[in-house]
């Protein structure tokens, strides 16, 4: 069966260059190919013309996304029509983040206008929690929840064979005689080594990707922490499932040799959550003597002297950490299970080892006040990260904070997902700060963050190039 997998456009409308390709679609394409199907990946976010933007710059271009949604002849929609005409897919699978829902539905509508017989499947974070919401749209035929590799494979197999035993496919939602059916959820994939490596060859216009764009990897899935704003557990679960070190090294070597990748970005929720595994990985990577650099994300309380030293010695050049807030009470409310002492100690360690690190701060969560924003800015100045990424909170269905926002009446019953973006500076979920005042505050925060990063201009440019 001919399948087109699509990552909808969003950031590209703002002129923002999204480094890396959609890794999840790479895994799905690989599984489909392994079982005899033809799959291609249309990455609508990729462009060789966009550039890296600071958060404040991107927010000022947010209206361009809204403009594109109302313009049927926008070049990006016409490019997708051209793709449908060239490839003639029988099924289109669309990856749907909540903030991209409107763009995803636009693509689904274009599919049906092109050929009403194209089967449209929504997968990813949003349909995992709200499949019925998407299926109420006439252009969506199926929704896949959780890890989508094998649910979509079973659906494609059945459709290829002319079968319609959809009730048997765990993790699938569909419409039957006007009624939406949500099948039981599918268990997580225990043996991640059993998955084929992501199918990079399936990328449309592969020649337009740089080696660094192909260096995205996951060495584990799942996160044991319960931060109220985070949706990782929705699709990947709380239990951490790790690939073997040998399997990870084999993928690194393949990417290095076949695609000349020398910079790798590991997108695990917390790369160092298993300290012994991380040390073992570093030792094995050193033994391979590969001339590569890499980055990862983790938590401040999952770092120590020996660990940072081991990581740096085998090519780690950037560590990204979530700070979120400089206010203890707000962090407790977010169930961060980390305090300011952890953060300050981690910052001292990272600065001691002179390794580039990036700190993430989030604003506008329930309980945010002008004081808590000032606390965050004070902490930012005290720990002095080489690079700061700031954003305002955006809703993620299926999280504890999402439920809190609804319970407090801080969002309407019919959520307009077009507005739920961290590029939309006026969106605040604090009962203490109105939207107008919040936008003014975020303009101030954005300028301070830009000033901080520009003061560390060499590291800042490095981070923008390689993130």
Name the one residue in this structure whose structure tokens are 């073992």.
280
Same domain, 118 and 257: no
Asked if the structure places residue 190 within a domain, the reply is no
| Cα–Cα distance, 87 to 48 (Å, whole number) | 22
Print the domain residue range for 74: 2-182
Assess whether 144 and 271 both reside in one domain: no
Classify residue 16 by its DSSP letter: B
What CA–CA distances, in Å, run from 363 to 166, 235, 404, 436, 463? 42, 24, 16, 15, 22
Same domain for 251 and 398: yes
Q: Within this chain, do residues 226 and 159 fall inside the same structural domain, yes or no? A: no
| Same domain? 238 vs 103 | no
Whether 195 maps to a domain, the answer reads: no
Residue 40 in domain: yes
User: Any idea how long the chain is?
Assistant: 467
End-to-end CA distance of the chain: 35
Q: Give the chain's domain count.
A: 2
Residue 173: inside a domain: yes
Shared domain for 176 and 220, answered yes or no, is no
Q: Do 104 and 222 reside in the same domain of the chain?
A: no
Q: Which residues, 6+ apart, have CB-to-CB distance to 332 below 8 Å?
A: none
Is the pTM of the predicted complex or chain greater than 0.85? yes
The span from the CA of 58 to the CA of 54, in Å, is: 6
Residue whose tokens read 């005042």: 437
Residue 188 lies in a domain: no
Q: Give domain status of residue 70, yes or no.
A: yes
If asked whether residues 336 and 430 sit together in one domain, one would say yes
248 with 144, same domain? no
Q: Please report whether residue 403 resides in a domain.
A: yes
Phi and psi (nearest 5°) for 259? -120, 5
Largest Cα–Cα distance in the chain? 64
Torsion, Cα 379 18 417 226, to 10 degrees, reads -50
Q: Let me know whether 309 and 400 are in one domain.
A: yes
Boundary of a domain, candidates 182, 200, 223? 182
Residues 227/232/236/240 CA torsion (nearest 10 deg): -50
Question: Which CATH number is 16's domain given?
Answer: 3.40.50.280
Q: Is residue 34 within 8 Å of 195, Cβ to Cβ? A: no
Are 418 and 368 found together in one domain?
Answer: yes
pLDDT by 10s per residue, the chain, length 467: 999 999 999 999 998 878 899 999 999 999 999 999 999 999 999 998 877 788 888 888 999 999 999 999 999 999 999 999 999 999 999 999 999 999 999 999 999 999 999 999 999 999 999 999 999 999 999 999 999 999 999 999 999 999 999 999 999 999 999 999 999 999 999 999 999 999 999 999 999 999 999 999 999 999 999 999 999 999 999 999 999 999 999 999 999 999 999 999 999 999 999 999 999 999 999 999 998 999 999 999 999 999 999 999 999 999 999 999 999 999 999 999 999 999 999 999 999 999 999 999 999 999 999 999 999 999 999 999 999 999 999 999 999 999 999 999 999 888 999 988 888 888 889 999 998 999 999 999 999 999 999 988 654 444 433 43
As beta bridge partners, residue 324 has 361
- Is 350 in the same domain as 425? yes
Query: Exposed, middle or buried: residue 369 (CB in 10 Å: 0-12, 13-18, 19+)?
Result: middle
**Conformation bin of residue 390: beta by default, left when phi > 0, alpha when psi is -120 to 50:** beta
């Amino acid at each position: 069966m001919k399948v087109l997998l699509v990552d909808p456009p969003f950031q590209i409308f703002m002129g923002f260059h999204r480094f890396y390709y959609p890794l999840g679609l790479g895994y799905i394409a690989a599984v489909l190919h392994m079982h005899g199907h033809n799959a291609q990946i249309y990455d609508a976010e990729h462009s060789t013309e966009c550039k890296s933007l600071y958060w404040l710059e991107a927010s000022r271009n947010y209206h361009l996304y809204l403009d594109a949604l109302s313009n049927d002849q926008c070049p990006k929609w016409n490019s997708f029509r051209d793709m449908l005409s060239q490839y003639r897919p029988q099924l289109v699978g669309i990856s749907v983040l909540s903030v991209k829902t409107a763009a995803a539905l636009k693509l689904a509508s274009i599919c049906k206008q092109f050929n009403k017989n194209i089967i449209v499947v929504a997968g990813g974070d949003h349909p995992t929690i709200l499949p019925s919401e998407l299926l109420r749209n006439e252009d969506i035929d199926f929704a896949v929840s959780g890890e989508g590799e094998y649910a979509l494979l079973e659906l494609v197999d059945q459709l290829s064979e002319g079968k319609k035993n959809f009730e048997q496919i765990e993790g699938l939602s569909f419409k039957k005689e006007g009624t939406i059916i949500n099948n039981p959820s599918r268990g997580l994939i225990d043996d991640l080594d059993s998955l084929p490596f992501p199918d990079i060859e399936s990328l449309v216009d592969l020649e337009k990707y740089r080696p660094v764009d192909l260096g995205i990897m996951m060495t584990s899935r799942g996160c044991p922490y319960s931060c109220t704003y985070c949706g990782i557990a929705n699709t990947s679960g709380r239990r951490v499932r790790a690939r073997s070190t040998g399997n990870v090294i084999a993928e690194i070597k393949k990417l290095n040799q076949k695609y000349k990748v020398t910079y790798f970005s590991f997108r695990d929720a917390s790369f160092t959550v298993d300290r012994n595994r991380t040390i073992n990985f570093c030792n094995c990577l050193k033994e391979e003597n590969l001339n590569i650099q890499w980055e990862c994300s983790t938590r401040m309380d999952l770092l120590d002297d020996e660990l940072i030293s081991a990581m740096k010695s085998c090519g780690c050049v950037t560590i990204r950490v979530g700070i979120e807030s400089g206010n203890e009470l707000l962090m407790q409310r977010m169930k961060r299970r980390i305090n300011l002492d952890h953060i300050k100690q981690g910052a001292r360690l990272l600065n001691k080892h002179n390794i580039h690190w990036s700190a993430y701060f989030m604003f506008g969560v329930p309980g945010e006040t002008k004081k808590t924003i000032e606390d965050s800015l004070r902490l930012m100045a005290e720990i002095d990260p080489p690079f700061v990424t700031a954003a305002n909170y955006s809703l993620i269905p299926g999280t504890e904070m999402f439920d809190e926002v609804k319970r407090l009446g801080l969002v309407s019953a019919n959520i307009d997902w077009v507005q739920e973006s961290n590029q939309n500076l006026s969106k605040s979920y604090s009962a203490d700060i109105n939207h107008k005042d919040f936008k003014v505050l975020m303009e101030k925060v954005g300028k301070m963050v830009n000033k901080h990063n520009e003061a560390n201009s060499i590291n800042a440019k490095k981070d923008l190039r390689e993130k």
